[in-house]
Amino acid sequence: MRRKTLALALILLAVFNIANAQLLTTQKKAYTHADTLRGSLRPERTCYDVTFYELRIKLDTAAKSISGSNKIVFNVLEDFSTLQLDLFENMKVVSILSAGKELKYRRDGNAIFVDMGRQLEDGTTGELTVNYYGVPTIAKRPPWDGGFTWSRDMNGKLWIGVSCEGMGASSWWPCKDYLGDEPDSMRVVCNVPTGMKCIINGNQEYEQRNDDGTTAYSWLVSYPINSYNISLNIGDYVHLHDEYDAQDGEILSLDYYVLSYNEAKAKKQFAQVKPMLACYEKYLGKYPFWNDGYALVETPYLGMEHQSGIAYGNQYKTGYAGFDFSRIGLDFDYIIIHETGHEWWGNSVSCKDIADMWIHEGFCTYTEAIYVECMHGYETAMRYVNAKKSQVDNKVAIQGPYGVNEEGDGDMYNKGMLFLNTLRYVVNDDTKWWSIIKNMSDTTFKMKNVDYNDVVMFFNQQTGKNLSPIFEQYVQHADLPTLEYSLKKTKGKEYELKYRWVTDAKNFMMPVYISTGGTQYNPIGVSNDWQSQKLTLEKESNFSINENWSYINIKKVN
């Protein structure tokens, strides 16, 4: 009995920890040459901009291998004769061709430096095709540990999925594996054993039987896309179709690809999609990838934000794999709500360097709170946000180091949400706040790659405030700002309140909300310098600081 109790506790703890960090992150102290090759903007990368990929592959399900080619079309940004591509060493290059001519190349670990054989000039275009094969990495704990998932469904039929966020798309296909360079569009043609269906991103162009016992599935993505968002989903799928009516009358195609025996469950569970999309449209703008449609694809792993083909593996349960880690009794399907939020934050508004993955995850987790406020009201949303405080460690910064392919700490999810909720009350004007959020997602940064400085400058401009020290403290430092204060009675009902911020960031100024009795809270400006003011209190216990509107440490001093 004790063993069962312990096992259950360990399972719940694992789910709880996973909920905090979709990417398993451990901050590195030293970085290798390989890290720099993968993460940095070297001249061999900045010299060209990818505009189109055409990936054509064939799966050998018995050998768990793939073979094929990727055609890469690019614009030349600087004169160059050598460019860098990325492909893991376990994947072998057969040849690299351009204009029918075989090109020379050299390997440096997972990086490939291609000699174009001539100088390409700024302002021109070019293309090359990489032919390759290999056995891609098998994921041990998908989606947190990247690679291919080879499994079987309840009927014993093969069921295959790919997830590679963090690990990178170059783990299974050759590309410029840097988040800051997305192709404008992409085609993927995948050949699988006949009898299996292959669902990819975007819209299916055709399904064609081949003479060798395989069937080719061609899918086209018509928008810019992060390379790690490209995925293969192969199995015994049935297709469910629905439509969402936008506020302006446009019709969005909704497509669900689920295992054949889960059709009834899917119809019931995915009823959450339309009201969710209505909430997101209201606060964030219309679904960004309209022409490619919205899709959920059932996967043998929990979930991932694969653009226009979201991986869904929550087993038609509420919460997170059936666990309500919000702790407030909400019964929505976390994977649907969270991963769909990534269509705006991560897929449309994308970071340039994985160090800024907090932009993806922090804003997306805040979108959960937006959904809760839209569906269940403001008070419930505040409970939802503040329930996450106990799940943040504040031991490592949520921003990672640039140039070494390293994301920040897993706190980026819940701390990011709590930080944005704090900013809402720094702005102290909900009309302006929601306008800023929608402007960011639907106008200023829609379909763009951004970094920390872009986001900070945007918020400074939109608010007319210097929020730079606030961003620095919450994003680039581990510790929360600490409010030190003292409250001393001077005479009668008169008290003196002294207060200041203790922070890593210099010139830190941020309001806190205080009450001298009742439920009315008013802001007071606080800086790093000691300040004071007189308060009238019936009794000292009437004084309170609103901790639901700010994610801070509070320390009472003598």
Q: Residue 319 gets which letter from DSSP?
A: B
Query: Tens digit of pLDDT for each residue in 274-311?
Result: 999 999 999 999 999 999 999 999 999 999 999 999 99
pLDDT at 518: 87
The answer to whether residues 493 and 538 touch, using CB atoms and an 8 Å cutoff, is yes
Q: Which helix (H) or strand (E) holds 149?
A: strand 147-152
Closest CA to 180 of 50, 309, 73: 50
Cα–Cα distances in angstroms (integers) from residue 171 to residues 130, 343, 400, 516, in the given order: 14, 23, 21, 59
pLDDT at 5 over 70: no
Query: Tens digit of pLDDT for each residue in 92-102?
Result: 999 999 999 99
Q: Give the pLDDT band of residue 326 (cuts 50, 70, 90).
A: confident
Cα–Cα distances in angstroms (integers) from residue 354 to residues 146, 348, 377, 409, 410, in the given order: 15, 15, 34, 12, 13
* Mean pLDDT for the stretch of residues 427-450: 98
pLDDT at 107: 98
pLDDT at 29: 67
Q: Give the pLDDT band of residue 13 (cuts 50, 70, 90).
A: very low
pLDDT at 28 over 60: no
- Mean pLDDT, the chain, whole residue set: 94
Three-state DSSP at 47 gives coil
pLDDT at 10 over 50: no
Closest CA to 67 of 209, 166, 214, 208: 214
Query: Tens digit of pLDDT for each residue in 227-267?
Result: 999 999 999 999 999 999 999 999 999 999 999 999 999 99
pLDDT at 9 over 90: no
Cα 431 from Cα 76, distance rounded (Å)? 44
The more confident residue out of 518 and 508 is 508
Q: Give the pLDDT band of residue 327 (cuts 50, 70, 90).
A: confident
* Mean pLDDT for the stretch of residues 393-415: 97
* Mean pLDDT for the stretch of residues 501-530: 97
Written as six digits, the tokens of 403 are: 């140039």
pLDDT at 26 over 50: no
Q: What's the burial of 275, exposed, middle or buried (CB within 10 Å: 0-12/13-18/19+)?
A: middle
Query: Tens digit of pLDDT for each residue in 122-147?
Result: 999 999 999 999 999 999 999 999 99
Helices 452-463 and 414-427: angle between axes, nearest 10 degrees: 20
Helix/strand/coil (H/E/C) assignment for every residue in 78-108: CCEEEEEEECCCCEEEEEEEECCEECEEEEE
* Mean pLDDT for the stretch of residues 308-326: 93
* Mean pLDDT for the stretch of residues 160-166: 97
The more confident residue out of 21 and 379 is 379
pLDDT at 17 over 70: no
pTM: 0.94
